[in-house]
Amino acid sequence: MNGDKLTRAFDNDWIGPALVSLVAIVVISIFQPSFLSPFNILVLLSAIAVNMLIALGQLVIIAVGQMNLALGSIGGLVAISFAAMMEIWQLPPLLAMCGGLAIGVAAGMASGYVIARTGISAFIITLAGLQIFKGINLGITEAQPFYGVPQSVKDFGNLAMAGPIPWLVLPMIVAGVGMWAIFNRLRIGRYILAIGGNRNAAELSGVNLDTTVIWAHALSGLLAAGAGMMLVARLQIGHPAIGEDWLISSFAAPVIGGAILSGGHVSVGGTFFGVVIIAIITQALVLFAIDPFVVQIVLGAMILWAVGINRLRELRVARAKA
């Protein structure tokens, strides 16, 4: 196909964050040469792999013009269920994984269904969902982690596939390519973006709003489940606290990657480099022994900065057309 298809595939949102992460890598490796050591790359890529699924989980909800506060607690619930299935019911890892993904999708569909049917703002429903799923998590684990994670799962979470590339990168690639395909090639992805872009136009064009919103939340649940189980593998423990700190980074990466919060425009590539930037900054702060909580300040500032830029871009487009 001609050039147009190419430019459309690589929308220009990812170029900015890509450059920033490149510069960051170069600068840091100058001050700290061990930044590029194989072991460090392994650790960095593992963090990026997990956070990419978390960011994609929020991205698919931002695309439909909503927000998902329950992302973390769905991830946590799936994490402990995954570990429990392996420890208590002695299920083989693959079967437990399918069980985990099913739980994630079910939880996502439940909140999607309530949001779609009642028309109540996604914020409040997913806030209630956050508490309910976290409550179920605590009810099952009574705040005690599950230790019975089989060695095969532990290896998947920590060993390298080739050189410094960890196995965890596999699910990231599958999820990244999968979501890119959904957003750019599958009908459900275009319908999700259509609702986010112009809800009324979508409705008039025969897009079934309710089912599409439920689909979006199901995908979000699936991705949260994936991230939760990847963390169980990496931490080698089914810990009830998994997912508690996902909220901020799940918004920061997509927004840095050029996603429009009112919905309708997302960039999987941009989100990936958003995740890379956050991972680099988090690690840099540890390397330079800066207070770890500075990350929170930086993330908050980056959200405001990215939102501000998107807002300016919208105003410029609006003014150009008026």
**Which 138-167 positions form the footprint of another protein (CB under 8 A)?**
138-139, 142-145, 158
Contact pick of 23, 27, 94, 287 for another protein (by CB under 8 A): 287
44 to 63: interface string for another protein, x by CB under 8 A = ---x----------------
Give the contacts of 308 (CB within 8 A, at least 6 positions apart).
none
How far from 281 is each of 16, 173, 222, 293, CA to CA, in Å?
16, 22, 27, 12
Q: Could you tell me the smallest distance in angstroms from the CB atom of residue 310 to another protein?
A: 9
Contact pick of 19, 95, 173, 245 for another protein (by CB under 8 A): 245
| Binding span for another protein by CB under 8 A among 85-93, 97-105, 200-208, 221-229 | 200-208
Decide whether 97 or 114 has the Cβ nearer to another protein: 114
Contact 85, 55 (CB under 8 A): no
Contact pick of 54, 230, 235, 278 for another protein (by CB under 8 A): 235
First-to-final CA distance of the chain: 34
108 to 137: interface string for another protein, x by CB under 8 A = ------x---xxxx-xxx-xxxxxxxxxx-
Binding residue count for another protein, defined by CB under 8 A? 99
Task: Say how far apart CA 173 and CA 176 lie, in whole Å.
Answer: 5
Contact pick of 39, 95, 148, 174 for another protein (by CB under 8 A): 39
Which residue is it, tokens 């991205």? 59
Query: 3-state DSSP call for residue 291?
Result: coil
Contact 202, 82 (CB under 8 A): no
Site for another protein contains 185 (CB under 8 A): yes
**Site residues (CB under 8 A) for another protein, limited to 73-112:** none
Contact pick of 22, 177, 300, 316 for another protein (by CB under 8 A): 300
Site for another protein contains 19 (CB under 8 A): no
Site for another protein contains 219 (CB under 8 A): no
Residue 210 amino acid letter: D
Give the contacts of 318 (CB within 8 A, at least 6 positions apart).
none
Query: 3-state DSSP call for residue 12?
Result: helix
Which residue is it, tokens 């986010």? 196
Contact pick of 56, 194, 213, 224 for another protein (by CB under 8 A): 194
Task: Say how far apart CA 115 and CA 186 lie, in whole Å.
Answer: 23
Contact pick of 149, 247, 277, 278 for another protein (by CB under 8 A): 247
Contact 7, 246 (CB under 8 A): no
Task: Say how far apart CA 209 and CA 191 lie, in whole Å.
Answer: 9
Site for another protein contains 6 (CB under 8 A): no
Contact 272, 14 (CB under 8 A): yes
Task: Say how far apart CA 247 and CA 242 lie, in whole Å.
Answer: 12
Decide whether 90 or 121 has the Cβ nearer to another protein: 121
Decide whether 18 or 241 has the Cβ nearer to another protein: 241
Q: Could you tell me the smallest distance in angstroms from the CB atom of residue 207 to another protein?
A: 7
Q: Could you tell me the smallest distance in angstroms from the CB atom of residue 20 to another protein?
A: 18
